[in-house]
Each structure stands twice: as C-alpha cells, then as structure tokens.
C-alpha cells in the first residue's frame, strides 16, 4: 500500500530555521531550560506549601 505522492528525491530542498544563527539557537535552548527549571521550582514550592504541617 504505497500512497505517498513522492516518487523521487531529486530536487528536494530543506529549510532549516535559524540554522546559520547559533546565537538564536542558544537563546531558544536557554529559554527552554529556564522554563523547565522554573516549572520544577514552582511545583516544589507549591507542594511544600500545600502539605506543610501545621
């Protein structure tokens, strides 16, 4: 069952966004890491406050 319309790879091109700008790639990576760290930190703070012994 071959339903793909592509029959040959001749003339195929690829577009890589920001591939020639490593500074932007590093910025996106740093923002992603910062968001992950912030999410983990805020979850830990919430859990500590929610289950704090009285």
Does 8 fall in a domain?
Answer: no
Asked if 18 contacts 24 with a C-beta cutoff of 8 angstroms, the reply is: yes
pLDDT in tens, 21-44: 899 999 999 999 999 999 999 999
Does 9 fall in a domain?
Answer: no
At residue 18, what are phi and psi to the nearest 5 degrees? 60, 20
CA angle 27, 36, 24 (to 5 degrees): 10
What is the domain range of residue 50? Answer: 19-54
Does 29 fall in a domain?
Answer: yes
Average pLDDT, integer, range 5-30:
80
pLDDT(1) > 70: no
- Closest by alpha carbon to 19, among 28, 11, 10? 28
Q: Which residue shows structure tokens 């319309």?
A: 5
Q: What is the largest CA-CA distance in the chain?
A: 70
Does 50 fall in a domain?
Answer: yes
Does 51 fall in a domain?
Answer: yes
Distance CA 33, CA 38 (A): 9
Task: Look at the chain and report how many structural domains it folds into.
Answer: 1
């Amino acid at each position: 069952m071959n339903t793909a319309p592509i029959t040959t790879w001749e003339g195929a091109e690829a577009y890589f966004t920001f591939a020639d700008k490593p500074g932007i790639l590093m910025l996106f990576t740093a923002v992603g890491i910062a968001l992950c760290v912030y999410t983990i930190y805020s979850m830990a703070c919430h859990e500590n406050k929610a289950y704090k012994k009285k």
